[in-house]
Amino acid sequence: MGLIGEIALQFCQMALVVILAPAVVGLVRKMKARLQRRIGPPVLQPYRDLRRLFGKEVVLPENASWLFRVAPYAIFALTWVAVALVPTFRTGLLFSWCGDLIAIVALLGAARFLQALVALDTGTSFGGIGSSREVMIASLAEPAMIMVVFTVALAAGSSQLSTVADFMAHVGGLRVSFAMALVALIIVALAENARIPVDNPATHLELTMIHEAMLLEYSGRHLAMIEWATALKLLLYISVIGCIFFPFGLITTGGGGPLAYVLAIAAYLFKVIVASLLLASLETAIAKMRVFRVPNLTGIALMLGLLGTLLLFVSGGL
């Protein structure tokens, strides 16, 4: 396939994730409502919310600096670039060779740093509380994510997601280290996306909210960009889990015909729907834990990631 075809495929991947991301949030909300015997909002409600926010006037805090206005666009761009590095329906896309899993962690870390900095910029008490809690959780979630990266990179011989997906597609049998890495990555995904049991995105209870506390001063298109970036981040973790541990349906670098691409996109949408159902079931079955117990949960993820890495050092067959 020529350069124009590769650029077109990369553009399709980036357009797919940015359009699909709000639907994932709407799907999780709808499934949670149905599991709780409620009708719930429509799946397309996040798109309506984004359209409404883009049409509203922006209200800026009195003490906000230029960073407050720039940060939403920078956070959205960093998250979108990170998602563009993840193979969704095909490995070996044009941008996938520009960065690996460590680059994705760095991009998400930069977006988090900006968000925490902007929350402090306004000088409000809720912004300070939200920033401190976000950084506290990230201090354990990011090392756990790095341990997961080391585990899969040691086994595949590379931290490139395309290489890892190709390797995992040909691995036979169950490996204990991969099972540990999968559980650790799920815990990290829950913590990084502010989902139950770490945080509850559906409430604004002052004493317990973490992520939402940093967004209270935002409005209009600025809030829309951050909400869209949050949905992209959730889809990113679903895509990473699907790419590494469930790579079925992915087209390899060799490519295929139009039917192969349709089947690959259908397989990717199937993974997203299943992951949304599992997330909705988990959030319905368990309650939010206290903030000071969150380090225990992220600490478990860190230890599982570390044990998975050590197992690969001790015995490559595990």
Encoding tokens for residue 224? 């829309």
How many distinct structural domains can be found in the chain?
1
The ranges of the chain with pLDDT < 50 are: none
- Residue 173 has a pLDDT of 61
The rounded percent of the chain whose pLDDT value lies above 70 is 95
Side-chain-facing half-sphere of 72: CA atoms under 13 Å: 19
- Residue 1 has a pLDDT of 65
- Residue 125 has a pLDDT of 84
- Reported pTM: 0.94
- Residue 255 has a pLDDT of 65
- Residue 317 has a pLDDT of 60
User: Range of 64's domain?
Assistant: 3-316
